[in-house]
Structure 1
């Protein structure tokens, strides 16, 4: 007999009580694979619940893989492979310290984990309650289409809202020039699918966006790095590279550059567009952190008005990374062609998420949220800079705002070993090599200011530099340095 206890007086719904009780019996091996559960009518009568409650609980257990339904026979405990043993914190770091490693590490969260190299803001900084309110309001709307495909170009009201927002930063684009995507990654991927073939040359920032580099390698293209300066891409180096290469695209970050935190200067922007015209290549401008930028930031798309610039953005950093809504804006003819690529590769994007983002943008609190985030970032950046100075790291260059500090370790040519050792202490650092097009060694680290105010991070860095481990690859002493006080 099953022998479980249910109580209608508990706040947990009866369906959830049944699901959890049966799962516990299965996990404890009381119910073994192949065991038959009581028929629905018998279960309902025995425990005084409705048959509908039992059906829903059984169906949920089937969906979770705990039960199997056999037509005309009933429900049986499913045979399941034993879960693989959990990796110890030190196991995963034996892999190569590269972009894939960093992405995997940032996806693992926990109360004792310091994501100092992460690319997103702490979840508690964002407006989770506002997202939930908007979600509830969305379910009451009459235009909601929860079981239909979205339109190929994306939810029209959101594209109209983006038209207004782009105009505010000097980019003139109609709603027809905007294509909504599954986050900025799909926007960049659509561009790659349309423009690139194996063997093509592509220019990228050096250092630059590490995940983009991995995606470009999947297309078999040749990555050529353009050195990054505090003013943006080094235009003299760019001009010299163009004498040797014929790139199809130049992927670059103009505002709050990832990883250096610097902004493009007007003079550099003007020269880049001149060279794009002269050498006939398109510029793909990634502005994912743009909503956190100063009001006077220079964007290539605002100078070029989408003639040779494809502008991309997203709301994953300020609203929700879970909703996966991004966009691209470009010439009208190109928007049509890129929409075709989207249809062929993904059919359409997620209209439910697009409607929710539209609701969040038009309800009003979004601008206030941005102001709060900018204020917190200013304070957190100050604390991070002081902490790095105390342990002997130098911000180079000084960030112009935003999420990141790009810090140099004096005398060090490769920070990968430091990241490997930090991982053993549940600290995720982002070594400079992952931000270089060919993974070249780098003595830099990217710090996310939202996660860098933990005393354990300061103590680790202080021990590492005091011990000279970054130069000789030795172990980090665990008690040689007194606890550092948070700044």
Structure 2
């Protein structure tokens, strides 16, 4: 029989984390032996006064970490933990990133949700599926070794040449030799992390920032140092203090249409970041995965720096197809050579079939028209989503014209993770701000995807969950009950 854990709802740590820590300690101290059956999810939730959702998430994490095993139809049991099966160092490395898995697991089980305003991508219906099918049929009629063989180490050469020309349109002068294709931006970030980040290194990241990147960095053993993100980009005054204190080698930043706040770096902040990079010998990794969704001529770090200290990362996963997994990075040629070797050692080559498909989509001139449609549709969706969020009593961080993300909160003292847990019980996937903090500290903020806010059930839930001051108009969302 398992004795109840001592959970404190007023603790700054989320209840999920308290449960995970408590069960781990019992297992490590042999208070829970291998093969012991834990209470059912419902019984555990009733005993500890928490939601079943909280228990499910905690147990899922413990399974991922190797502490529990799930037996279908029977429940959860303490797993056997011999040294050969679960080396301590491996368990420790997985534990560093396991919190990041929460949103990934939930986001990728789309069929189980009524609505997904917390997702990080555009709906499938917004993408150019017909264009992809057309190009696939054309490629299928062409013979060649690319159908069965490996591609070039750096990637499909015509695509890299075309990408170099596209970079010039962004104000970044480079050659195809400076570009490496990758399996999406995450692959590019992983390669860069492997090359430049060693265990124990301090690494600067946006706070809030990209949670999957945090997972990679934690697995590498890096110490994450968050640079506060402001409406104009990184807080460069704080950034300099952090550089002096921690002496980092790399700064990873999402400069345009920032994930999760949706704002872009100002030109003044961009210049200051590069000045700090020069003064303190810092390398900057600019993740520009959402930049194509922004109109006009925004300030890119790589354009101001011309790939001297900046490594530029982008992808077509957010604008063409997440399934194709075609991304790229651009940097100094000598770094590109080393990263190409690293790509070979860790994954051989990328798919030339996918890269040829993206190349054809770009060369036929359809991509620019597709982007114009996406931007226009997003602008309309943003206006509507912001209006509905504000009517629910939500405070929007900063309203922009372009991009998919809206950063909003109900109350500065609230932990949005609790609201997200409540929403999940209603089949609505929210993205709580804690997931975007480098060390998952509690946050009142939520990230909303404007393209995923079309279901009135979202705003009905937010309005019903908001503190009652007599000014919420829930009649805006008829036909739904929270």
TM-score scaled by length of structure 1: 0.77
Mapped partners of 1:266, 1:431: distance in 2:
29
Give the conservation status (yes or no) of the 8 Å contact 1:228–1:234.
yes
Give the conservation status (yes or no) of the 8 Å contact 1:432–1:442.
yes
- Alignment partner, residue 477 of structure 2: 484
Structure 1 residues 427 and 209 mapped into 2: Cα distance closer, same or farther (>3 Å)? same
- Alignment partner, residue 59 of structure 1: none
User: Structure 1 residue 316: deviation in Å?
Assistant: 0.4
Matches within 5 A, 1:115-194: 115-143=116-144, 145-194=146-195
Give the conservation status (yes or no) of the 8 Å contact 2:53–2:421.
no
Query: Per-residue CA shift, 1:155-200, capped at 9, x if unaligned?
Result: 0010011011100010011000000011111100000111111000
User: Structure 1 residue 94: deviation in Å?
Assistant: 3.2
- Alignment partner, residue 239 of structure 2: 238
User: Structure 1 residue 454: deviation in Å?
Assistant: 1.0
- Alignment partner, residue 10 of structure 2: none
- Alignment partner, residue 196 of structure 1: 197
Mapped partners of 1:227, 1:400: distance in 2:
23
- Alignment partner, residue 306 of structure 1: 307
User: Structure 1 residue 91: deviation in Å?
Assistant: 5.1
User: Structure 1 residue 142: deviation in Å?
Assistant: 3.8
User: Structure 1 residue 363: deviation in Å?
Assistant: 1.5
- Alignment partner, residue 338 of structure 2: 337
User: Structure 1 residue 143: deviation in Å?
Assistant: 4.2
- Alignment partner, residue 392 of structure 2: 391
The alignment yields a C-alpha RMSD, in angstroms, of: 2.0
Mapped partners of 1:369, 1:144: distance in 2:
30
- Alignment partner, residue 73 of structure 1: none
- Alignment partner, residue 277 of structure 1: 278
Mapped partners of 1:277, 1:215: distance in 2:
26
- Where do 5+ consecutive residues of structure 2 fail to align? 1-40, 43-50, 62-98
Query: Per-residue CA shift, 1:446-466, capped at 9, x if unaligned?
Result: 000011121100110011114
Give the conservation status (yes or no) of the 8 Å contact 1:287–1:312.
yes
Query: Per-residue CA shift, 1:422-460, capped at 9, x if unaligned?
Result: 001110000000000000110000000011121100110
Give the conservation status (yes or no) of the 8 Å contact 1:99–1:210.
yes
Give the conservation status (yes or no) of the 8 Å contact 1:187–1:312.
yes
Matches within 5 A, 1:49-448: 94-96=56-58, 98-110=99-111, 113-143=114-144, 145-448=146-449
User: Structure 1 residue 254: deviation in Å?
Assistant: 1.1
Mapped partners of 1:344, 1:141: distance in 2:
30
User: Structure 1 residue 111: deviation in Å?
Assistant: 7.8
Report the more deviating stretch, 183-192 or 403-412.
Answer: 403-412
User: Structure 1 residue 245: deviation in Å?
Assistant: 1.2
Mapped partners of 1:91, 1:443: distance in 2:
19
Mapped partners of 1:91, 1:265: distance in 2:
40
Mapped partners of 1:91, 1:266: distance in 2:
44
Mapped partners of 1:483, 1:268: distance in 2:
40
- Alignment partner, residue 77 of structure 1: none
Mapped partners of 1:485, 1:425: distance in 2:
16
Mapped partners of 1:388, 1:461: distance in 2:
8
Structure 1 residues 144 and 127 mapped into 2: Cα distance closer, same or farther (>3 Å)? farther
Give the conservation status (yes or no) of the 8 Å contact 1:205–1:225.
yes
- Where do 5+ consecutive residues of structure 1 fail to align? 1-86, 469-479
Mapped partners of 1:394, 1:370: distance in 2:
29
What is the total number of aligned residue pairs between the two structures? Answer: 389
Structure 1 residues 412 and 399 mapped into 2: Cα distance closer, same or farther (>3 Å)? farther
TM-score scaled by length of structure 2: 0.78
Q: Counterpart of 1:450 in 2: which secondary structure? A: helix
Structure 1 residues 93 and 132 mapped into 2: Cα distance closer, same or farther (>3 Å)? farther
User: Structure 1 residue 343: deviation in Å?
Assistant: 0.6
User: Structure 1 residue 306: deviation in Å?
Assistant: 0.3
Give the conservation status (yes or no) of the 8 Å contact 1:316–1:324.
yes
Q: Counterpart of 1:445 in 2: which secondary structure? A: strand
Give the conservation status (yes or no) of the 8 Å contact 1:90–1:423.
no
Structure 1 residues 409 and 178 mapped into 2: Cα distance closer, same or farther (>3 Å)? same
User: Structure 1 residue 117: deviation in Å?
Assistant: 0.3
User: Structure 1 residue 100: deviation in Å?
Assistant: 1.0
Give the conservation status (yes or no) of the 8 Å contact 1:187–1:326.
yes
User: Structure 1 residue 113: deviation in Å?
Assistant: 2.2
Give the conservation status (yes or no) of the 8 Å contact 1:289–1:317.
yes
Mapped partners of 1:393, 1:408: distance in 2:
5
Q: Counterpart of 2:407 in 1: which secondary structure? A: strand
Mapped partners of 1:427, 1:399: distance in 2:
25
Mapped partners of 1:373, 1:407: distance in 2:
22
User: Structure 1 residue 483: deviation in Å?
Assistant: 6.0
Q: Name the larger-Rg structure.
A: 1
Give the conservation status (yes or no) of the 8 Å contact 1:263–1:400.
no
- Alignment partner, residue 41 of structure 1: none
Give the conservation status (yes or no) of the 8 Å contact 1:276–1:283.
yes
Give the conservation status (yes or no) of the 8 Å contact 1:135–1:356.
yes
Q: Counterpart of 1:447 in 2: which secondary structure? A: strand
Query: Per-residue CA shift, 1:237-280, capped at 9, x if unaligned?
Result: 11111120111110001110011111111111111101101111
